[in-house]
Amino acid sequence: MRIRSNFYVSLDGFVSTPDGRPIQLLLPGFAGAASHGLPDFLAACEAVVMGRTTFEPALGAPRWPWTQPVFVLTSTPLPEGTPEGVTAAPTAAELVQLMRDAGIDGDVHLVGGPSTVEAFHAIGAFDELHLHVAPVMVGDGGTRLTPPLLPVRFASSRTFRDGVVELRYLVGDER
Protein backbone atom coordinates (compact mmCIF):
# COMPACT_ATOMS: atom_id res chain seq x y z
CA MET A 1 0.00 0.00 0.00
CA ARG A 2 1.27 3.47 -0.94
CA ILE A 3 -0.41 6.48 0.63
CA ARG A 4 -0.12 9.46 -1.71
CA SER A 5 -1.39 13.02 -1.59
CA ASN A 6 -2.02 15.57 -4.31
CA PHE A 7 -1.97 19.18 -3.08
CA TYR A 8 -2.33 22.47 -4.86
CA VAL A 9 -0.27 25.18 -3.20
CA SER A 10 -0.13 28.91 -3.90
CA LEU A 11 3.16 30.63 -4.67
CA ASP A 12 3.19 31.88 -1.09
CA GLY A 13 2.70 28.41 0.44
CA PHE A 14 -1.04 28.12 1.13
CA VAL A 15 -3.25 25.10 0.38
CA SER A 16 -6.49 26.92 1.19
CA THR A 17 -7.85 30.45 1.36
CA PRO A 18 -8.87 32.16 4.62
CA ASP A 19 -12.46 30.94 4.01
CA GLY A 20 -11.27 27.33 3.60
CA ARG A 21 -11.54 26.97 -0.19
CA PRO A 22 -8.80 24.83 -1.77
CA ILE A 23 -6.29 26.82 -3.83
CA GLN A 24 -7.22 25.06 -7.08
CA LEU A 25 -10.66 26.67 -6.95
CA LEU A 26 -8.94 30.04 -7.55
CA LEU A 27 -7.79 28.85 -10.98
CA PRO A 28 -10.21 30.05 -13.68
CA GLY A 29 -9.81 26.94 -15.84
CA PHE A 30 -9.84 24.35 -13.05
CA ALA A 31 -12.04 21.46 -14.20
CA GLY A 32 -12.01 19.30 -11.08
CA ALA A 33 -10.81 15.73 -11.50
CA ALA A 34 -10.14 16.40 -15.20
CA SER A 35 -7.38 18.93 -14.44
CA HIS A 36 -3.60 18.83 -14.16
CA GLY A 37 -2.90 15.10 -14.37
CA LEU A 38 -5.56 14.24 -11.81
CA PRO A 39 -7.25 11.63 -14.04
CA ASP A 40 -4.07 9.53 -14.07
CA PHE A 41 -3.41 10.07 -10.36
CA LEU A 42 -6.96 9.16 -9.35
CA ALA A 43 -7.18 6.16 -11.68
CA ALA A 44 -4.23 4.61 -9.85
CA CYS A 45 -5.86 4.94 -6.41
CA GLU A 46 -8.01 2.12 -5.07
CA ALA A 47 -9.04 3.90 -1.85
CA VAL A 48 -9.32 7.38 -0.37
CA VAL A 49 -8.38 8.48 3.15
CA MET A 50 -9.10 11.90 4.63
CA GLY A 51 -9.65 13.84 7.83
CA ARG A 52 -13.05 14.83 9.06
CA THR A 53 -12.56 18.48 8.06
CA THR A 54 -12.31 17.39 4.42
CA PHE A 55 -14.99 14.72 4.71
CA GLU A 56 -17.86 16.87 6.03
CA PRO A 57 -18.02 19.39 3.15
CA ALA A 58 -18.07 16.48 0.68
CA LEU A 59 -21.36 15.35 2.21
CA GLY A 60 -22.99 18.56 1.01
CA ALA A 61 -21.66 18.27 -2.53
CA PRO A 62 -24.21 17.82 -5.34
CA ARG A 63 -22.84 14.31 -5.84
CA TRP A 64 -20.55 12.09 -3.78
CA PRO A 65 -17.12 12.65 -5.36
CA TRP A 66 -15.57 9.20 -4.80
CA THR A 67 -16.15 5.79 -6.30
CA GLN A 68 -13.42 4.11 -4.22
CA PRO A 69 -13.79 3.02 -0.58
CA VAL A 70 -13.42 6.02 1.75
CA PHE A 71 -11.67 5.97 5.14
CA VAL A 72 -12.03 8.93 7.54
CA LEU A 73 -9.65 9.91 10.34
CA THR A 74 -11.97 11.05 13.15
CA SER A 75 -12.58 10.33 16.81
CA THR A 76 -16.27 11.28 16.65
CA PRO A 77 -19.13 9.36 15.02
CA LEU A 78 -19.75 10.10 11.37
CA PRO A 79 -22.74 12.38 10.73
CA GLU A 80 -26.12 11.35 9.40
CA GLY A 81 -26.11 11.11 5.62
CA THR A 82 -22.71 9.44 5.47
CA PRO A 83 -22.64 7.18 2.40
CA GLU A 84 -22.62 3.44 2.97
CA GLY A 85 -19.18 1.90 3.03
CA VAL A 86 -17.37 4.87 4.59
CA THR A 87 -15.11 3.62 7.39
CA ALA A 88 -13.78 5.72 10.27
CA ALA A 89 -11.18 5.34 12.99
CA PRO A 90 -9.61 7.72 15.52
CA THR A 91 -5.97 7.12 14.54
CA ALA A 92 -3.98 6.85 11.35
CA ALA A 93 -2.59 3.48 12.47
CA GLU A 94 -6.10 2.09 12.93
CA LEU A 95 -7.14 3.35 9.49
CA VAL A 96 -4.11 1.74 7.87
CA GLN A 97 -5.07 -1.56 9.51
CA LEU A 98 -8.71 -1.19 8.43
CA MET A 99 -7.56 -0.55 4.85
CA ARG A 100 -5.37 -3.66 4.95
CA ASP A 101 -8.24 -5.69 6.43
CA ALA A 102 -10.42 -4.47 3.52
CA GLY A 103 -7.87 -5.82 1.05
CA ILE A 104 -6.47 -2.45 -0.01
CA ASP A 105 -2.91 -3.06 -1.13
CA GLY A 106 -2.46 -0.52 -3.93
CA ASP A 107 -2.35 3.27 -3.96
CA VAL A 108 -4.44 5.28 -1.49
CA HIS A 109 -5.25 8.94 -2.15
CA LEU A 110 -4.83 10.98 1.00
CA VAL A 111 -7.24 13.90 0.58
CA GLY A 112 -7.06 16.42 3.33
CA GLY A 113 -5.05 19.00 5.09
CA PRO A 114 -1.59 19.18 6.55
CA SER A 115 -2.63 17.69 9.91
CA THR A 116 -3.93 14.53 8.21
CA VAL A 117 -0.70 14.24 6.22
CA GLU A 118 1.26 14.68 9.45
CA ALA A 119 -0.77 11.94 11.21
CA PHE A 120 0.13 9.40 8.52
CA HIS A 121 3.71 10.61 8.28
CA ALA A 122 4.13 10.24 12.06
CA ILE A 123 3.47 6.48 11.78
CA GLY A 124 5.63 6.06 8.66
CA ALA A 125 2.63 5.54 6.37
CA PHE A 126 2.93 8.51 4.01
CA ASP A 127 4.80 7.73 0.82
CA GLU A 128 4.35 10.33 -1.89
CA LEU A 129 3.48 14.00 -2.18
CA HIS A 130 2.40 15.63 -5.45
CA LEU A 131 2.47 19.43 -5.31
CA HIS A 132 0.74 21.52 -7.95
CA VAL A 133 2.14 25.03 -7.63
CA ALA A 134 -0.58 27.39 -8.76
CA PRO A 135 0.33 30.85 -10.08
CA VAL A 136 -1.75 32.65 -7.42
CA MET A 137 -0.99 34.42 -4.14
CA VAL A 138 -3.24 34.16 -1.09
CA GLY A 139 -1.55 36.76 1.12
CA ASP A 140 -2.28 36.29 4.81
CA GLY A 141 -4.63 33.74 6.30
CA GLY A 142 -5.69 30.39 4.97
CA THR A 143 -3.92 27.15 5.72
CA ARG A 144 -0.24 26.75 4.99
CA LEU A 145 0.94 23.50 3.48
CA THR A 146 3.29 23.03 6.35
CA PRO A 147 5.37 24.29 9.10
CA PRO A 148 8.61 22.36 8.55
CA LEU A 149 7.77 19.82 5.87
CA LEU A 150 8.35 16.13 5.84
CA PRO A 151 11.65 14.73 4.62
CA VAL A 152 11.20 14.55 0.86
CA ARG A 153 13.21 13.59 -2.23
CA PHE A 154 12.47 15.14 -5.59
CA ALA A 155 11.15 12.57 -8.11
CA SER A 156 9.76 14.43 -11.14
CA SER A 157 8.00 17.53 -12.44
CA ARG A 158 5.79 18.69 -15.28
CA THR A 159 4.25 21.97 -16.37
CA PHE A 160 0.69 22.59 -17.60
CA ARG A 161 -0.38 25.22 -20.15
CA ASP A 162 -2.07 27.44 -17.57
CA GLY A 163 1.15 27.88 -15.56
CA VAL A 164 0.52 25.22 -12.92
CA VAL A 165 3.62 23.17 -12.13
CA GLU A 166 3.36 19.69 -10.60
CA LEU A 167 6.27 18.63 -8.39
CA ARG A 168 6.36 14.97 -7.28
CA TYR A 169 8.31 14.05 -4.15
CA LEU A 170 8.91 10.73 -2.44
CA VAL A 171 8.42 11.01 1.31
CA GLY A 172 10.78 9.57 3.93
CA ASP A 173 14.13 7.90 3.77
CA GLU A 174 15.30 6.34 0.54
CA ARG A 175 13.83 2.86 0.19
**Residue 131 pLDDT > 60:** yes
> How do residues 43-52 score in pLDDT, each as one tens digit?
899 999 999 9
pLDDT of residue 146: 67
The full set of domains in the chain, from first to last, is 2-13+35-153+163-171 (3.40.430.10)
pTM of the model: 0.80
> Mean per-residue pLDDT for 74-102?
95
> Mean per-residue pLDDT for 82-94?
95
41, 130 Cβ separation under 8 angstroms? yes
17, 148 Cβ separation under 8 angstroms? no
**C-alpha–C-alpha distance, residues 76 and 15, integer Å:** 25
Instruction: Report CA 92 to chain centroid distance, whole Å.
Output: 14
Beta pairing class for 165-171 and 152-159? antiparallel
